[in-house]
């Protein structure tokens, strides 16, 4: 039965794509999820996997053609696909189930191979029949015993999110899972979340390991009725890989000495990380396809100029660079240091120049060695969330002209009110009473005085926001996240406190959805709970202001009464810091905003429910 291959939609704002290369030709065998063709869009270059196993019957759109999304670009004849093992009959129904219910065990092998592209790139591509035949046999058995399975896919957590990193599996192969029970945790550009199981059953297979980054809608696991036969499957692939490595090692050792000179070329091979960064710390924007081409040709992406959106390095950029400079450009910059001793050469016999160069090179190498030995410790890679935080903070520093103003605010009136009615208020409303809604209310009062604080920069214009969407920074054990209370100006005091508590609890339990961490217009951060006097927070882009709360401390303060007499009293003092973007907010506006905030808190007299 033929299966149409369509041009996928790589994002909500992308309506067409260009086929840059077909990786198979008509008549070739293809496996489900095996790379079939490459596309290029306005935002991303990507390899598109085959939707089913079989034989590529027809290519309807040639290379270089640009077509609309959902256009049929090829046809795979599923019935014409030969079996990878002797169990051909069970394999075809499993493939049919994969297309209809998304859970064929017989397709697990190719998908598992694709889940580790780094290994494929470094070790070279192996013939699919050699790699996947044992896995297909094992999965076929599991599928026949447990019936059709359910594929677990990487969900799309937002319109502009195209990939996610699996940070933790909450179940292991063979465990029973219930529908909607948390199955694994993911991290994306905007949110960390727990992903529930789509069905009840037994976790038959995990296709994407912890730490791997996969595109949305990629199959990461399979849930079926019987998981025991499939438990041997993860060991089968490593065993096969181990046998291949052992064979390659033996072949290398038995190779004649005349063949060995090819090994020094390994000195020029460079392993690039998944998220390459420039020398200034900024992330190099490129697709997995571009990074793979760079690895295969030993090209440093730092040297490749990007012509795509935001400096993104496209496939054409890397191919043009290779055509101009050739592969293995890494080895060429390393040559000049060896020529440095030559400028000292004086008229003397050549036999004396070589002994001079050697003593200079040896002390240099010896001096560099202790630098690493003198700094003991452990090198731990950043988590995906930490990398995103680092990117956003550096980006904000480069974007906004940060200025901070600090105000001392007498919170005695608020503190005494809270102490007086706290127990009754919490019993009546069923939630805790914190200082955050008082600060949020004061923030909105200040915005009514100076609306520029609740704005953003849009090119050469200023966007004044109609609603006040307050981001509340929440400290997590594994990082920081800023959920947003939207339309805060329309909430009562109780509603504001309830929303703040709810977002904080769901942030710590990874229950937030992408919409709840987007659309903020101004942010409040409260490091004061840890005891600092104040901090100087960084603005969250594209906002132009952030309000930081210090701790509340009892301090002696000079009080002037109505008659002008001074006295010293113990008051509850907090230091509030406004970080603002001096591109559009002047110091006078920022200070007047803070004066309004201070006056509101020091003279608080509103009903809090």
CA-to-CA dists, residue 602 to 197, 410, 517, 573, 599, angstroms: 50, 6, 31, 10, 5
> Across 495-609, where does the E strand assignment appear?
522-525, 545-560, 566-581
Return the H-helix or E-strand segment holding 57: strand 54-59
Helical axes 315-325 vs 288-296, angle rounded to 10°: 20
In which residue are the tokens 């090209």 written? 299
Helices (H), 147-287: 228-231, 233-254
Distance of CA 550 to the CA centre of its chain: 31
Cα–Cα distance, 194 to 363 (Å, whole number): 54
The angle subtended at Cα 45 by Cα 41 and Cα 49, nearest 5°, is: 105
413: tokens are 């009136």
Active-site entry in 28, 180, 302, 582 = 582
Active-site entry in 28, 180, 267, 586 = 586
Beta bridge partners of 48: 37
Asked if residue 472 lies in contact with residue 378, where contact means CB atoms within 8 angstroms, the answer is no
557: tokens are 């303060």
Q: Which residues contact 358 (CB under 8 A, 6 or more apart)?
A: none
Burial readout 480-500 (b: 16 or more C-beta within 10 A, e: otherwise): bbbbbbbebeebebbebbbbb
- How is 420-459 classified by DSSP, letter by letter? HHHHHHHHHHSS---SHHHHHHHHHHHHHH-GGGGEEEET
Indicate the DSSP class of residue 161: -
Helical axes 587-602 vs 436-449, angle rounded to 10°: 130
Indicate if 582 belongs to the active site: yes
Asked if residue 108 lies in contact with residue 57, where contact means CB atoms within 8 angstroms, the answer is no
Asked if residue 318 lies in contact with residue 304, where contact means CB atoms within 8 angstroms, the answer is yes
Indicate if 586 belongs to the active site: yes
Helices (H), 331-471: 336-339, 350-373, 384-399, 412-429, 436-449
For the chain, how big is the Rg over CA atoms in Å? 31
Catalytic residues: 582, 586
């Amino acid at each position: 039965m033929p299966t149409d291959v369509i041009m996928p939609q790589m994002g909500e704002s992308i309506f067409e794509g260009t086929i840059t290369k077909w990786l198979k030709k008509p008549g070739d065998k293809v496996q489900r999820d095996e790379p079939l063709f490459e596309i290029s869009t306005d935002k991303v270059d990507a390899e598109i996997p085959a939707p089913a196993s079989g034989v590529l019957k027809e290519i309807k759109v040639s290379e270089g053609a640009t077509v609309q999304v959902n256009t049929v670009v090829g046809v795979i004849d599923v019935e014409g696909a030969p079996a990878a093992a002797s169990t051909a009959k069970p394999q075809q129904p499993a493939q049919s189930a994969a297309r209809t219910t998304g859970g064929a065990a017989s397709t697990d092998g190719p998908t598992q191979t694709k889940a580790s592209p780094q290994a494929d790139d470094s070790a070279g591509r192996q013939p699919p029949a050699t790699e996947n035949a044992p896995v297909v046999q094992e999965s076929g058995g599991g599928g026949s015993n447990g019936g059709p399975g359910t594929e677990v896919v990487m969900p799309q957590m937002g319109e502009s999110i195209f990939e996610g990193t699996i940070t933790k599996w909450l179940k292991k192969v063979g465990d029973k899972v219930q529908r909607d029970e948390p199955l694994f945790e993911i991290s994306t550009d905007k949110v960390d979340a727990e992903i529930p199981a789509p069905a009840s059953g037994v976790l038959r297979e995990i296709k994407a390991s912890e730490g791997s980054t996969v595109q949305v809608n990629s199959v990461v696991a399979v849930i079926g009725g019987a998981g025991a036969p499939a438990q041997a499957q993860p060991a089968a692939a490593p065993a096969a890989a181990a046998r291949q490595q052992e064979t390659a090692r033996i072949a290398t050792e038995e190779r004649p000495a005349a063949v060995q000179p090819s090994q020094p070329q390994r000195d020029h091979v460079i392993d690039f990380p998944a998220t390459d960064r420039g020398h200034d710390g900024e992330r190099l924007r490129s697709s997995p396809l571009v990074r793979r081409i760079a690895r295969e040709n030993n090209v440093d992406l730092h040297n490749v100029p990007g012509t795509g959106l935001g400096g993104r390095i496209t496939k054409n950029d890397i191919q043009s660079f290779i055509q101009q400079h050739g592969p293995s450009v890494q080895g060429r910059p390393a040559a000049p240091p060896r020529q440095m001793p030559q400028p000292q050469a004086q008229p003397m016999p050549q036999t004396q120049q070589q002994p001079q160069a050697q003593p200079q090179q040896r002390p240099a190498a010896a001096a560099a060695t202790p630098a690493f030995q003198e700094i003991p410790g452990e090198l731990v890679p950043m988590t995906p969330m930490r990398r995103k935080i680092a990117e956003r903070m550096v980006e904000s520093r480069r974007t906004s002209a940060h200025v901070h103003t600090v105000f001392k605010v007498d919170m005695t009136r608020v503190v005494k009110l809270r102490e007086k009615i706290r127990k009754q208020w919490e019993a009546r409303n069923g939630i805790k009473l914190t200082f955050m809604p008082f600060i949020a209310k004061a923030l909105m009062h200040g915005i009514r005085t100076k609306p520029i604080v609740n704005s953003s920069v849009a090119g050469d214009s200023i966007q004044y926001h109609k609603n006040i969407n307050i981001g509340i920074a929440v400290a997590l054990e594994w990082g920081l996240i800023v959920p947003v209370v939207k339309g805060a100006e329309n909430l009562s005091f109780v509603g504001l406190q309830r929303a703040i508590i709810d977002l904080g609890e769901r942030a710590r339990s990874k229950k937030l959805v992408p919409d709840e961490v987007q659309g903020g217009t101004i942010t409040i951060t409260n490091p004061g709970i840890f005891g600092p006097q104040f901090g100087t927070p960084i603005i969250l882009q594209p906002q132009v202001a952030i309000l930081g709360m210090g701790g509340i401390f009892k301090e002696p303060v000079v009080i002037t009464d109505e008659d002008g007499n001074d006295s010293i009293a113990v008051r509850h003092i907090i230091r509030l810091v406004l970080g603002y973007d001096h591109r559009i907010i002047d110091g006078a506006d920022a200070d007047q905003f803070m004066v309004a905030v201070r006056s509101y808190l020091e003279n608080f007299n509103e009903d809090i429910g």
